[in-house]
Amino acid sequence: MPRIDGVSRAIGRARTAEEHSADADARQRKEALKLAAREREEEECTFQPRLESNPDRILQRAGPGADARRLRMLEDPEGLSDRVRRLQEDKARRVEEKRREAEYRELEACPFVPGQGADAPRPVPQP
C-alpha cells in the first residue's frame, strides 16, 4: 500500500475552510491581479465619449447650419422609427415595381403566343 512520506505530509497538510478563506496573502495577490487586468483593459480603451445631459445644449452647439435630419432626430426620437419604417416600405415598393417591370419587358420580348402552334385546334370553316 502506498504511503506519504514526511516531507509531502508537511507540505500538503490539510487546511480548514477558514484557513483557506482567511488567507490574506492569497487575497492580496488576487486583488493585485484584478487591478493589473483592469489597468491593462483601460489602457486598451482609448475612446472617451463626451456625454451631454441636456439635449438643448446639443441643439445649440449644432448651430444654424446643422444638418436638418440630425436636428429632427434629436427633437423627435420617437418619430425616427416611424421614418425608418416608411423608408423601408418605400424601398420595398420600388424594388417590387422594378421586378414587375423587368418581368413585363421579358414577357413582352417573348415571341410565344399561346394557342398558335402546329398542335393548336384549327377553326372550323363556316358554310
Say if 14 falls within a structural domain: no
Helix (H, G, I), strand (E, B) or coil at 55: helix
Phi-psi region of 80 (alpha: psi -120 to 50; beta: other; left: phi over 0): alpha
Q: Is the pLDDT of residue 52 over 70?
A: yes
Say if 41 falls within a structural domain: no
Q: Lowest-pLDDT range, 33-47, 58-72, 108-122?
A: 58-72
pLDDT single digits (tens) 67-124: 666 666 667 777 778 888 999 999 999 999 999 999 999 888 887 777 666 666 666 7
User: In terms of residues, how long is the chain?
Assistant: 127
Say if 113 falls within a structural domain: no
Domain of 98 in residue numbering reads as 67-107
Phi, psi of 40 (to 5 degrees): -65, -40
Say if 35 falls within a structural domain: no
Number of separate domains in the chain: 1
Does the pTM of the predicted model rise above 0.75?
no
